With several copies, the nearest count.
Chain A
Amino acid sequence: MGCDARSVAAAVVAAAGVVGEHRDELVRLDQAMGDADHGENLRRGFGFVVSALDESTPDTPGAVLKLVASVLISKVGGAAGPLFGTSFLRAAGAVGAAEELTPELVSAALGAALGGVVARGKAELGDKTMVDALAPAASARGADIPTLLTAAAIAADAGAESTIPLVARKGRASYLGERAIGHLDPGARSVALLLRSFANSAMGL
């Protein structure tokens, strides 16, 4: 009933399902401001992730996260591939070789994930990107993993919603100027969806 490699892998598989369910929504969000591929990119990417996890489940939570990272980086492309990939890679680094995750490790992983996205994408809060969802999520705290991830998911949701009135300064939506106002950022939405799914998985532990 601890959060071991198997639980983390199961959570990733569940998240892949959520991505699949929301594929069309994410495509539509990206169609409004971008190139209409975000939902398809993540669906494709998490499809490969599930296949990879089917073949072999790594031993530690960190190794699972690293596998997810390498599949996303090598199979997705676009902005989402490297950014999500890097976030999982940094998260893997943060949890190291631990056999089971703790709230502290999860918190560290979220912070590292944010650091990775910012390092790669150079976006700041308010640039209307996934950072607007991930940054508040990384600041969430909780005494246990379900509580922590639920708080993170709620923060990510609010952060994603906060992108609606913004003009974009990074990513494809930055080409639109004022016309980006009124639209939810697809990457922020997918961060929120993933965290909500992780929180739900954690509740079931």
Chain B
Amino acid sequence: MKKIINNPADVVTDALRGLAAAHPALLRVTRDPAVVAWAGSPVAGKVAVISGGGSGHEPLHTGFVGPGMLDAACPGAVFTSPTPDQVQAAAAQVDGGAGVLLLVKNYTGDVLNFETAAEFLDNTRTVLIDDDVAVQDSSFTAGRRGVGATVLVEKIAGAAAAAGADLDTCARLAEAVVAGARSMGLALTAPTVPHVGSPSFVLPEDEVEVGIGIHGEPGRRREPLTDASALVAALLEPILDDLPFVAGDEVLLFTNSMGGTPLLELYLAHGIAEELLAARGITVIRRLVGPYVTSLDMQGISLTLLRLDPALTDLWDAPVHTAALRWGM
């Protein structure tokens, strides 16, 4: 394993120390339990927006803490959802008296730990994020997992809270984003988890894993590595068919790197996706391109589409200041 780390058991703690050092005016980072909070929180009368999950997906979630987005993030161990203690500590720090919105990616571990925390908290609402169309949706299973849409939910719910919306409204908007967003990803390489030391799976030089998640779990299927046009189409078609997105829709297109894929390839993929959408009569009116929901050093991309309406668009455009996403302030 080649990584710039000290003790593998301490990577999250050590990285949080660096995060705190890098953003002293923006973030308040506490340990035991680990919480990354906006230094300006709590804001009296504002709904507090909290998310969290396993580490290894940076900048998700800690990079999205700040005015206009998350009040706090709870970073778990690598690929391990945080504990209820972390969520309770985060809520205690950032609750401004107007309620706490918990934004939770739909994984068994995340759901159970946030659920336990919520039992100890007053006035909370939980919104589950489950946008990955690679996973069959069924009431008999764990359901779809949350991936790229998480950034969009956090931005839009965070903007609503910043604008003074109440807890129900914030939750309703978060649910609207979940309802209108779909994602799918593929991997060219596997991530290497620090406490494991070997790649999570082994992929031949000429194959890709299609329908992967963000935890190094294998995807739905392996396919030959084709050219970028075919790969992008293989991600986009299932997304479009699922909601479905149709001609006339106005959308946000989020082209995400899983971490190891360079911007050159990412923009190349983004350009292809824009062309495919234009050919379908779907109008891209907002975009996000970059490594925002990653899986350590995995090479790969995911696409997320969100159907926009003017209200969601305004909330997307609202000022935000976090380590990883910033505009208007």
Contact = CB atoms under 8 A, between A and B. Distances in A.
Given A34-B217, A35-B216, A37-B193, A172 B80 contact: no
A58 interface: no
Interface stretch (A60-68, A72-80, A91-99): A72-80
B200 A36 contact: yes
Contacts of A82: 84, 109, 112-113, 115-116
A171 B109 CA distance: 8
Nearest to B74: A77
Interface string B207-244: 00000010111101100000000000000000000000
B141 A76 contact: no
Interface in A12-46: 27, 31, 33-37, 40-41, 44
Contacts of B220: 175-177, 179
A175 B218 CA distance: 9
Contacts of A102: none
Contacts, number: 120
Given A35-B217, A120-B112, A171-B108, A27 B134 contact: no
Interface residues of A, number: 33
Contact of B145 (A40, A73, A175): A175
A170 B221 CA distance: 19
Interface in B125-163: 134-136, 140-142, 145
Interface in A144-161: none
A171 B195 contact: no
Contacts of A74: 33, 83-85
Contacts of B76: 77-78
B283 to A, nearest CB: 32
A122 to B, nearest CB: 9
A121 B216 contact: no
Given A36-B193, A77-B109, A169-B141, A176 B217 contact: yes
B307 to A, nearest CB: 24
Given A77-B77, A169-B141, A175-B135, A33 B112 contact: no
Contact of B140 (A31, A77, A79, A169): A169
Nearest to B76: A77
A44 B113 contact: no
A37 B82 CA distance: 13
Interface residues of B, number: 40
Provide the main secondary structure of the chain B interface.
loop
A170 B77 contact: no
A162 interface: no
A50 B135 CA distance: 38
A172 B81 contact: no
Given A82-B112, A83-B112, A172-B108, A179 B218 contact: yes
A29 B82 CA distance: 22
A174 interface: yes
A98 to B, nearest CB: 27
Contacts of B221: 179
Given A37-B193, A77-B113, A172 B77 contact: no
Contacts of A115: none
Nearest to A38: B80
A81 interface: yes
A162 B133 CA distance: 29
A40 B195 contact: yes
Contacts of B54: 35, 37, 77-78
Contacts of B142: 169-172, 174-175
Interface in B76-120: 76-86, 107-109, 112-113, 115-116
Contacts of A121: 108, 112
Contact of B77 (A34, A44, A171, A175): A44
Which has the most chain B C-beta neighbours within 10 Å: A41, A75, A77, A169?
A77
A175 B135 CA distance: 6
Contact of A73 (B84, B107, B135, B200): B84
A79 B216 CA distance: 16
Contact of A79 (B108, B134, B217): B108
Contacts of B1: none
A194 B145 CA distance: 30
Contacts of A35: 54, 79-80, 193, 200, 215-217
Interface of A: 27, 31, 33-37, 40-41, 44, 73-83, 120-121, 169-177, 179
Interface of B: 9, 33, 54, 76-86, 107-109, 112-113, 115-116, 134-136, 140-142, 145, 193, 195-196, 200-201, 213, 215-218, 220-221
Given A33-B218, A37-B54, A82-B113, 9 more contacts: A31-B196, A35-B79, A35-B215, A78-B113, A79-B112, A82-B112, A121-B108, A177-B220, A179-B218
12 contacts: A36-B196, A37-B78, A41-B80, A77-B54, A77-B83, A77-B86, A77-B109, A78-B81, A79-B109, A80-B109, A169-B141, A175-B142
